[in-house]
Amino acid sequence: MYGVLLLGIETSCDDTATAVVRDGKRVLSNVATNQDRFHEKYGGIVPEIASRQHVALLSAAVEDALARAQTRLTDMDGIAVTMGPGLIGSLVVGVASAKALAFASGKPLYAVNHLHGHVFAPFLETELEPEYPFLALLVSGGHSQLVHVASPLDMRILGRTRDDAAGEAFDKTARLLGLPFPGGPAIDALAREGNSTIKFPRHRADGDALDMSFSGLKTSVRYFLSDPKNTGVRKENVAASFQAAVVDVLMDRLERAAARYPYSLAVLSGGVAANSALQRAFTTWGVRNGVRTAIPQLRYCTDNAAMIAAVADRQGESKRADPLSVSADPNLSFEPLTSRR
């Protein structure tokens, strides 16, 4: 929407994030307070700790986003917040705060789906505009999906993981390798020093389904590491081989989806979109097939509030603001927005 300023709030998992975005595109401020240090020693996110940290951090993060953008709450045209999916204790902190801000300021409230935010993150701070329909490969710690995007309010899942998300596989495999949490960046870095010499399995659905699977891959890595005859194998090679298997599965699914519809644009998004090998494979595929590709800047790949404000802006062109009675929904479904409203 032209000239529209939105405050974005994202607390679906363990990042306390706020942002001010103009026209769904220009990021005037993007504040992300990472909680990794509180969760690291547990090897994963502890929901209770995450929600308590959001309570402690969110008010200051809102102030910070407004101040960095040199704006005030009264300058905003609305408040956008993630209503789901995610951890319930984390989501309610963001939703309750957004409702309070909307009530106090009289500004409209936009409650959006976190995953829709990821789909539109690649258009932040670029000249690129979506050409509908486009194909989105969404790969994060909680989700792995291929999405047909017909409009900001009309998206259809073409294929999804049947078990672990790609990011989850990175995190669990990193743990097996004794790497710190979150595992994705650690495996990415280690893989750069190794070669993909080990042939780990590539699991995907047969036939027409575009689904994928990553839990068998993680188990194969575990068996490989516990086999005494592999004790001398370099961790770098295990990391590179695991990563190559994930990238192969994702690219295979993407190619299949693209063969069914003549997309002129494909986007890669979610935390795992930060992966260097996946980015290389995705970009090369686009060049070879004449499909424009877009990947968000690193800070917009992982969870952030700018993407929440951005998607609220795009959806707000054709949907009304939400009532203050809206609730957080940890299981919010990706698909028919139209039937929800």
Among 82, 140, 279, 315, binds Zn ion (CB under 5 A): 140
13 near ligand KG4 (CB under 6 A): yes
Partner interacting with residue 183 (select from ligand KG4, Zn ion, none; CB below 5-8 Å by kind): ligand KG4
* The 134-139 sheet, strands edge to edge: 154-160, 144-151, 134-139, 265-269, 292-294
Interatomic CA distance for residues 316 and 23, integer angstroms? 11
Residue closer to ligand KG4, measured from CB, 213 or 302: 302
Among 51, 82, 113, 140, binds ligand KG4 (CB under 6 A): 140
Partner interacting with residue 242 (select from Zn ion, ligand KG4, none; CB below 5-8 Å by kind): none
Stretch that binds Zn ion, among 31-39, 45-53, 136-144, 330-338 (CB under 5 A): 136-144
Binding mask 299-318 for Zn ion (x = CB under 5 A): ----x---------------
Among 10, 164, 211, 303, binds ligand KG4 (CB under 6 A): 303
Give SS3 for 28. Answer: strand
Interatomic CA distance for residues 23 and 4, integer angstroms? 5
Q: Residue 74 — left, alpha, or beta (φ > 0 → left; ψ -120 to 50 → alpha)?
A: alpha
CB 297 within 8 A of CB 30: no
Q: Which residues of 83-96 are buried (b: 16+ CB within 10 A; e: fewer)?
A: bbbbbbbbbbbbbb
Query: DSSP string covering 224-270, please?
Result: HHHSGGGTTS-HHHHHHHHHHHHHHHHHHHHHHHHHHS--SEEEEES
**Least CB distance from residue 104 to ligand KG4, whole Å?**
29
**Least CB distance from residue 148 to ligand KG4, whole Å?**
20
Interatomic CA distance for residues 152 and 139, integer angstroms? 19
Interatomic CA distance for residues 161 and 147, integer angstroms? 12
171 near Zn ion (CB under 5 A): no
| Helices and strands in the chain, H and E counts | 12, 12
Residue 213 one-letter amino acid: S
Partner interacting with residue 185 (select from Zn ion, ligand KG4, none; CB below 5-8 Å by kind): ligand KG4
Among 10, 125, 164, 188, binds ligand KG4 (CB under 6 A): 188
Residues in the chain: 341
Residue count at the site for ligand KG4 (CB under 6 A)? 19
Interatomic CA distance for residues 279 and 245, integer angstroms? 14
Partner interacting with residue 274 (select from ligand KG4, Zn ion, none; CB below 5-8 Å by kind): ligand KG4
**Least CB distance from residue 86 to ligand KG4, whole Å?**
7
**Least CB distance from residue 276 to ligand KG4, whole Å?**
6
Interatomic CA distance for residues 272 and 245, integer angstroms? 14
**Least CB distance from residue 304 to ligand KG4, whole Å?**
8
Contacts with ligand KG4 in 225-284 (CB under 6 A)? 270-272, 274-275
Among 185, 286, 296, 316, binds ligand KG4 (CB under 6 A): 185
171 near ligand KG4 (CB under 6 A): yes
CB 152 within 8 A of CB 314: yes
Residue closer to ligand KG4, measured from CB, 76 or 83: 83
Q: Which residues bind Zn ion (CB under 5 A)?
A: 140, 303
Task: Give the footprint of ligand KG4 on this chain (CB under 6 A).
Answer: 13, 140-142, 167, 170-171, 182-185, 188, 270-272, 274-275, 302-303
